C-alpha cells in the first residue's frame, strides 16, 4: 500500500511501514534538521510546513500517518508537556 508520512520527525512510521512492504509517496516535516535526516535515511525530500500544503499536492495514498509534536514531552525540549503554549498551534 501507499502511505503518506505527515509531521514525519525521525521517520518511525516510515521505518515500520516500509518493513511491512508499503511505499512512502509523500512526507512532510517542518524541522530542517529532521528534513535532512529523513532525506539521508529514506531518499525522500520531506516537504516543509504542513499548514502550507494543499490537499491536491498530496499523492493518492492508502494510509495516512501523522506524528504529534513531541518537543513538549522530549528531554531535548522544554518538557512542558500539555502546558506547552505552542502544542496546538
The tally of domains found in the chain comes to 1
Tell me the CATH number at 70: 3.40.50.150
pLDDT at residue 88, as a whole number:
52
Task: Please indicate, yes or no, if residue 18 is contained in any of the structural domains.
Answer: yes
* 53 is a domain residue: yes
User: Which grid cell is 40?
Assistant: 539521508
Q: Which residue range(s) make up the domain with 63?
A: 2-83
Digit-coded pLDDT (tens) for 32-56: 999 999 999 999 999 999 899 999 9
**pLDDT digit string (tens) for 51-68?**
999 999 999 999 999 987
Cα 88 from chain centroid (whole Å): 16
What does the pLDDT look like over 76-88, one tens digit per residue? Answer: 666 777 777 765 5
Query: Element (H or E) spanning 24, and its range?
Result: strand 23-27
- The catalytically annotated residue of 7, 24, 28, 70 is 70
Q: Residue 70 catalytic?
A: yes
CA atoms of 13 and 5, how far apart (whole Å): 7
pTM of the predicted protein model: 0.80
Q: What residues does 24 pair with on adjacent strands?
A: 3
**Residue 31 and residue 54: Cα distance in Å, rounded?**
19
Amino acid at each position: 500500500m501507499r502511505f503518506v508520512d505527515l509531521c514525519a520527525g525521525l521517520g518511525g512510521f516510515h521505518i515500520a511501514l516500509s518493513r511491512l512492504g508499503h511505499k512512502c509517496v509523500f512526507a512532510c516535516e517542518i524541522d530542517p534538521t529532521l528534513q535532512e535526516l529523513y532525506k539521508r535515511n529514506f531518499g525522500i525530500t520531506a516537504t516543509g510546513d504542513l499548514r502550507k500544503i494543499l490537499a491536491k499536492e498530496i499523492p493518492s495514498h492508502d494510509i495516512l500517518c501523522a506524528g504529534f509534536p513531541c518537543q513538549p514531552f522530549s528531554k531535548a525540549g522544554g518538557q512542558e508537556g500539555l502546558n506547552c503554549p505552542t502544542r496546538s498551534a
